[in-house]
Chains A and B, each alone.
Chain A
């Protein structure tokens, strides 16, 4: 059972470059979300989705885009990376509010 799979595990970007962080889950969860984790700030919600074609903004959406074309995949796009986006990014999914969030192992992104 793969659960939530994130790729890549590590990435270094230069300021202004773009990239996509991949997230896939095999649990048929409708709810998927992206968080960023920064020291002393916990996890902050970037974007979330409740099914294919439905996305919404979380607490810190600026600089990030998402789309949900399938139930399984929820990629996070950085169109023009900035040093402030250096962080560890987690994708998480769940069945509904009563079920736990299942987290991927994270992507550590450094923007120089």
Chain B
């Protein structure tokens, strides 16, 4: 079964500093990988996803992530963090299955990384 590990429970950065959130996955085939963000009291919002092709993917809000198959990693980065980026971030791997001629994905999430931004 697939699994996702986010080694850092809590990260604190200063506003304007660069950010990297780590994500390691375990999956038998080519993984479908995602990063979601959750603001307090809200549901999750998709930041970016990787299905195939270019291993560096761009997302919303200035985030990017790089897929490294050799390291089973999909780390999230941002060159300059804004105070509004403070939130909890979840990495996820998708397991696809077919039903009624349509492919669907079941997501397995990591434990989450809480990002605090200091002014």
Q: Is the interface of B mostly helix, strand, loop or mixed?
A: strand
Q: How far is the CB of B52 from chain A (nearest CB, A)?
A: 11
Q: How many residues of A contact B (CB 8 A)?
A: 30
Complex CA gap A97/B50 in Å reads 12
B53 interface residue, CB < 8 Å from A? no
Residues A96 and B102 in contact, CB atoms below 8 Å apart: yes
Residues B100 and A104 in contact, CB atoms below 8 Å apart: no
Q: Given the interface contacts A40-B9, A51-B100, does A101 sit within 8 Å of B46 by beta carbon?
A: yes
Q: How far is the CB of A23 from chain B (nearest CB, A)?
A: 11
A13 interface residue, CB < 8 Å from B? no
A43 interface residue, CB < 8 Å from B? yes
Residues A42 and B43 in contact, CB atoms below 8 Å apart: no
Residues A94 and B102 in contact, CB atoms below 8 Å apart: no
Residues A103 and B106 in contact, CB atoms below 8 Å apart: no
Residues A54 and B43 in contact, CB atoms below 8 Å apart: no
Residues B102 and A30 in contact, CB atoms below 8 Å apart: yes
Given contacts A97-B96, A103-B45, A105-B41, 10 further A-B contacts (CB under 8 A): A30-B104, A35-B109, A42-B109, A45-B108, A51-B99, A54-B99, A58-B106, A101-B46, A103-B43, A105-B42
Binding site for A on B (CB under 8 A): 4, 6, 9, 32, 34, 36, 41-46, 49, 51, 90, 94, 96, 99-100, 102-112
Binding site for B on A (CB under 8 A): 4, 30-31, 33, 35, 40-45, 48, 50-51, 54, 58-59, 90, 92, 94, 96-98, 100-106
